[in-house]
């Protein structure tokens, strides 16, 4: 997928190590193909036929045209996600991918991505002092809800070390100050790249990432913001919500771009509040919706359900 000009692409670029995918066998083995390309007639037919010919049985299929009525004029973009069984694949994954590139993706000018359930994505967690989003993700992984590996946790504080270690996770503290920020970010990126991280999640990490960080990391970063964006961008959204007297508070999970709190939104939700709520009770109530929304967004990303289109997302 081509990176948007002003944002690191939330999809792993084509350097995806297809060569190291697991053997395409096993009854439970599935793969997911995501596609975006200029819309035109026949795309579903071409892809579904290719998969059928190569012995892949489609389990789920979703598609979206941004403007089906503009199909003739070239004004529509097409998105598709297909999940299929690898059981009947007549070739190794490499040959399958090469054939798809040659026969379908090339002619139809596709950005595409292929991932295998048996090769879980590798997720880095960046945290500060709040534990709720962090622990919720660790639990969900433990329960089998999130098909990820977590090679490391990075924090600018010591507070959550014990929680991380309880779950058997390496915990790296990289203090961040105004002065050392460039060096600290370089160290964070180095740690994540060495760990072979596919994407990072800011689980209430309380530092703003610089454009340098995003470019050097070059992979998707998911954030949870504690407001219903675009309301209450920036610091202290619960205080701002209290001051404005809103009757709902929310949380928004989005891909991080250089524009603060302005990246593509993946998931949002709200909960009702009343005049009885204080800034403190909003924080408490908000924790529940923050962790739910972040978990939903991470799960969607992990399952290749999120495709980015400009500054928006398609979430299948």
CB of residue 19 to a second copy, shortest distance in Å:
27
d(C-alpha 91, C-alpha 254), whole Å: 37
64 touches a second copy (CB under 8 A) = yes
302 touches a second copy (CB under 8 A) = no
Contact between 110 and 104 (Cβ < 8 Å) = yes
Q: Which is nearer to a second copy, 185 or 261 (CB)?
A: 261
Among the residue ranges 10-18, 91-99, 204-212, 308-316, the one whose residues contact a second copy (CB under 8 A):
308-316
CB of residue 203 to a second copy, shortest distance in Å:
14
**261, 269, 277, 288: which is the annotated catalytic residue?**
261
Of residues 155, 156, 188, 268, which one binds a second copy by CB under 8 A?
268
Q: CA dist 85 to 26, 47, 128, Å?
A: 9, 15, 40
44 touches a second copy (CB under 8 A) = yes
Contact between 123 and 200 (Cβ < 8 Å) = yes
Closest alpha carbon to 286 in 243, 237, 244: 237
CB of residue 81 to a second copy, shortest distance in Å:
12
Q: CA dist 134 to 65, 108, 210, 265, 287, Å?
A: 35, 41, 22, 20, 11
247 touches a second copy (CB under 8 A) = yes
Contact between 223 and 202 (Cβ < 8 Å) = yes
Contact between 94 and 23 (Cβ < 8 Å) = no
Active site residue 261: yes
Phi/psi class of residue 143: alpha, beta or left (left: φ > 0; alpha: ψ in -120 to 50)?
alpha
Among the residue ranges 99-107, 119-127, 206-214, 268-276, the one whose residues contact a second copy (CB under 8 A):
268-276
d(C-alpha 163, C-alpha 165), whole Å: 5
230 touches a second copy (CB under 8 A) = yes
Name every residue whose Cβ is closer than 8 Å to that of residue 5 and which is 6 or more positions away in sequence. none
- Whether the CA torsion 69, 73, 75, 79 is positive or negative: it is positive
Q: Which of residues 88-117 bind a second copy (CB under 8 A)?
A: 88
204 touches a second copy (CB under 8 A) = no
239 touches a second copy (CB under 8 A) = no
276 touches a second copy (CB under 8 A) = yes
CB atoms closer than 10 angstroms to residue 241: 24
42 touches a second copy (CB under 8 A) = yes
Angle between helices 132-142 and 279-302 in degrees, nearest 10: 40
Among the residue ranges 108-116, 189-197, 205-213, 263-271, the one whose residues contact a second copy (CB under 8 A):
263-271
Among the residue ranges 119-127, 171-179, 185-193, 281-289, the one whose residues contact a second copy (CB under 8 A):
281-289
Is the omega angle on the peptide bond into residue 159 within 30 degrees of 0, that is, cis? Answer: no
Q: Which is nearer to a second copy, 178 or 244 (CB)?
A: 244
260 touches a second copy (CB under 8 A) = no
314 touches a second copy (CB under 8 A) = yes
Contact between 305 and 279 (Cβ < 8 Å) = no
For the annotated catalytic residues, the residue numbers are 261
Residues that bind a second copy (CB under 8 A): 27, 41-42, 44-45, 48-49, 51-52, 55, 57-65, 68-69, 71, 85, 88, 131-132, 135, 139, 143, 145, 166, 228-232, 244-248, 250, 264-270, 274-276, 284, 287-288, 292, 309, 311-315
């Amino acid at each position: 997928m081509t990176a948007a000009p002003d944002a690191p692409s939330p999809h792993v670029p084509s350097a995806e190590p297809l060569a190291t995918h697991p053997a395409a066998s096993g009854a439970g083995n599935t793969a997911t193909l995501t596609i975006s390309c200029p819309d035109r007639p026949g795309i579903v037919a071409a892809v579904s036929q290719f998969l059928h010919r190569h012995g892949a049985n489609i389990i789920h299929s979703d598609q979206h045209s941004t403007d089906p009525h503009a199909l003739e004029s070239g004004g529509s973009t097409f998105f598709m996600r297909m999940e299929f069984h690898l059981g009947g694949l007549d070739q190794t994954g490499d040959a399958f991918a090469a054939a798809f590139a040659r026969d379908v993706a090339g002619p139809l000018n596709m950005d595409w991505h292929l991932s295998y359930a048996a090769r879980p994505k590798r997720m880095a967690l960046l945290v500060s002092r709040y534990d709720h989003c962090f622990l919720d993700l660790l639990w969900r992984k433990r329960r089998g809800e999130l098909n990820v590996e977590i090679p490391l946790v990075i924090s600018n504080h010591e507070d959550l070390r014990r929680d991380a270690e309880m779950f058997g996770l390496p915990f790296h503290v990289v203090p961040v100050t105004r002065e050392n920020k460039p060096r600290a970010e370089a160290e964070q990126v180095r740690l994540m790249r060495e760990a072979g991280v596919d994407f990072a999640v800011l689980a209430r990490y309380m530092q703003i990432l610089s454009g340098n960080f995003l470019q050097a990391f070059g992979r998707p970063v998911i954030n949870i913001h504690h407001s219903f964006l675009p309301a209450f961008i920036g610091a202290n959204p619960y205080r701002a919500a209290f001051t404005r007297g809103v009757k709902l508070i929310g949380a928004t999970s989005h891909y991080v771009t250089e524009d603060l709190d302005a990246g593509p939104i993946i998931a949002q939700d709200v909960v009702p509040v009343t005049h009885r709520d204080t800034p403190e009770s909003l924080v408490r109530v908000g924790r529940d919706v923050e962790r739910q929304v972040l978990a939903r967004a991470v799960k969607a990303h992990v399952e290749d359900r999120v495709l980015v289109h400009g500054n928006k997302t398609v979430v299948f």
